[in-house]
Structure 1
Amino acid sequence: MARITAGITTSHIPAVGAALDNGKADEPYWQPVFAGYEFARAYERDTKPDVVILVYNDHASAFDMTFIPTFAIGCAESFPIADEGWGPRPVPEVQGHADLAWHIAQSCILDEFDMTIINAMAVDHGLTVPMSLMFGQVDAWPVKVVPIAVNVVTYPPPSGNRCWLLGEAIARAVASYPEDLNVQIWGTGGMSHQLQGPRAGLINKAWDTAFLDKLTADPEALRHMPHIDYLREAGSEGIELVMWLIMRGALGPEVRELHRHYHVPASNTAVGHIVLEPLP
């Protein structure tokens, strides 16, 4: 049977990808950011996942204001790299696991989650930056990917509790897949940041740290946090953190925290990253 063996979260800041692509990772400004991912890179080499279910949000690359799915699943065999205005990132095309993706789609829809099925989709920095952080600069990604795109761009985004429940539904889907697969689930985006208006540049270290603490030890406190709390405390883009709750819901009630990284600033954003394993 397929099994979810780990959950990972990370910010997906586009400037982090640009720093890596342009050979700036060892510069004094960026070195502390990338140093925090050395554990995860070694962990990925050691555990060798077959598939990553990667929860992220699109940034007007695959979707625009004419079509905004709340939850979408990529079921294609491969996903090209989006051109976000300055050319596609120089990273490999993302290879999908269509059979697992279709199984998850069927299982979740019959489990009363109305997933939007996407059979052709370009992926942007929301997906590719986490891949680069975990695997570095490679000729081909060492895993297949099932993308789960979540609307956290246009109001109303899904609630934290709905995201948690989707994580539980994804876990049930994976557990019922007959092939022996080592599956990880990643939640991306965040942490606190705001890109516009009088609070542009907002970073709330105390709130971010408390969120990381609760993600491991008290996730029930996060499930029912209202959207206004994310907006008030973490900025307008802090709502991306609800995507971490899909990952956390898929791991079950008890987890072991293996690694944590928090750094400010990277561009105008707080970097957050955690590696968790489910307990039996």
Structure 2
Amino acid sequence: MAHISASVYTSHVPAIGAAMDLSKTREPYWQPLFAGYDFSRQWLKENRPDVILLVYNDHATAFSLDMIPTFALGTAAEYQVADEGWGPRPVPKVIGHPELASHIAQSVIQQDFDLTIINKMDVDHGLTVPLSLMCGEKDPVKDAWPCPVIPLAVNVVQYPVPSGQRCLNLGRAIRKAIESYDENLNVQIWGTGGMSHQLQGARAGLINKEWDNRFLDLLIENPVGLSEIPHIEYVREAGSEGIELVMWLIARGAMADVDCAKPLPKVLHRFYHVPASNTAVGHLILQNQA
């Protein structure tokens, strides 16, 4: 049977992708941030999964205010890199895994989650920046991402957005779906977005280091309790865009210790950095324990 071996959590700041694409990673401003992913890149090389299920939010490229799915699962064979206004990022296209994605859709919908099924869409920086951070620079012609990727887009842009509890429960349903897939696949699930930041208004540039690190503590030790935090606290403490952090709860809910009599996952790497384009960057790698 398929199984989830680990979960990865990371911010997906668009300026990070631009810094990589423009060869600025060694500049004094950016070097400390990218150094925080050195361990992660080596770890991914040594622990390459068969499939990554990547939770992210679209930034008005695949979807618009005309159509806003709460949870949208990509079931396509491949995904082109989106043009977000200045041309597509110079990174490889994303190869999907239609068989596992379709199985997850069937299983999760039967568990009473109403997913939107996406057979064709472009993917933006919300998905490609985490891949770049974890995999390093890629030549779009010669290289490829290390494995197939299943995109799961979550609406955290236009209210109403899903609650933390709903996201944690979706992770639980995804774990059951993957574990019922009749092929021996090693799957990683990645939660992306956040951490504290606000892009507009009187509080533009808000960063709350204390709240961010408390979030990381609870994500590791008490994800069920963390899922009960209301939307208003995310907005008040982490800024208007801090609500993206509910997507991390999908990845955390898919880990083996949630609902099971198993130990907490092992923390392989934890990193936090401020600033990155007026945003706090958080990063975790959690490994299921046998």
Question: What pairs with 1:49-60 in structure 2 (closer than 5 Å)?
Answer: 49-60=49-60
- C-alpha distance after superposition, 1:204-260 (max 9, x if no partner): 000001000111112122111000000000000000000000000000332111100
Aligned to 2:14: 14
Question: What pairs with 1:168-247 in structure 2 (closer than 5 Å)?
Answer: 168-247=172-251
Question: What pairs with 1:41-190 in structure 2 (closer than 5 Å)?
Answer: 41-138=41-138, 139-190=143-194
- C-alpha distance after superposition, 1:101-158 (max 9, x if no partner): 0000000001110000000010000000000000011211111000000000000110
Q: Which runs of 5+ in 1 are unaligned?
A: none
**Could you say what secondary structure the match of 2:191 adopts?**
strand
The separation in 2 between residues aligned to 1:38 and 1:70, in whole angstroms, is: 34
Q: In the alignment, does 2:283 pair up with 1:273? A: yes
Q: Which runs of 5+ in 2 are unaligned?
A: 258-263
8 Å Cα contact 2:75-2:117 kept in structure 1: yes
The separation in 2 between residues aligned to 1:43 and 1:215, in whole angstroms, is: 21
**Of 230, 250, 269, which aligns to 1:259?**
269
RMSD of the alignment, in Å? 0.6
**Could you say what secondary structure the match of 1:237 adopts?**
helix
**Could you say what secondary structure the match of 2:286 adopts?**
strand
The separation in 2 between residues aligned to 1:147 and 1:206, in whole angstroms, is: 31
The separation in 2 between residues aligned to 1:81 and 1:218, in whole angstroms, is: 36
TM-score with structure 1 setting the length: 0.99
Please state how far the C-alpha of 1:161 moved relative to its aligned partner.
0.4
The amino acid that maps onto 1:269 is: T
The amino acid that maps onto 2:213 is: T
**Could you say what secondary structure the match of 2:133 adopts?**
helix
% identity of equivalent residues: 65
The separation in 2 between residues aligned to 1:229 and 1:61, in whole angstroms, is: 28
Please state how far the C-alpha of 1:278 moved relative to its aligned partner.
1.8
**Could you say what secondary structure the match of 1:128 adopts?**
helix
The separation in 2 between residues aligned to 1:106 and 1:179, in whole angstroms, is: 16
**Could you say what secondary structure the match of 2:274 adopts?**
strand
**Could you say what secondary structure the match of 2:149 adopts?**
strand
The separation in 1 between residues aligned to 2:91 and 2:270, in whole angstroms, is: 26
- Number of residue pairs matched? 280
The separation in 2 between residues aligned to 1:37 and 1:54, in whole angstroms, is: 18
The amino acid that maps onto 1:130 is: P
Aligned to 2:260: none
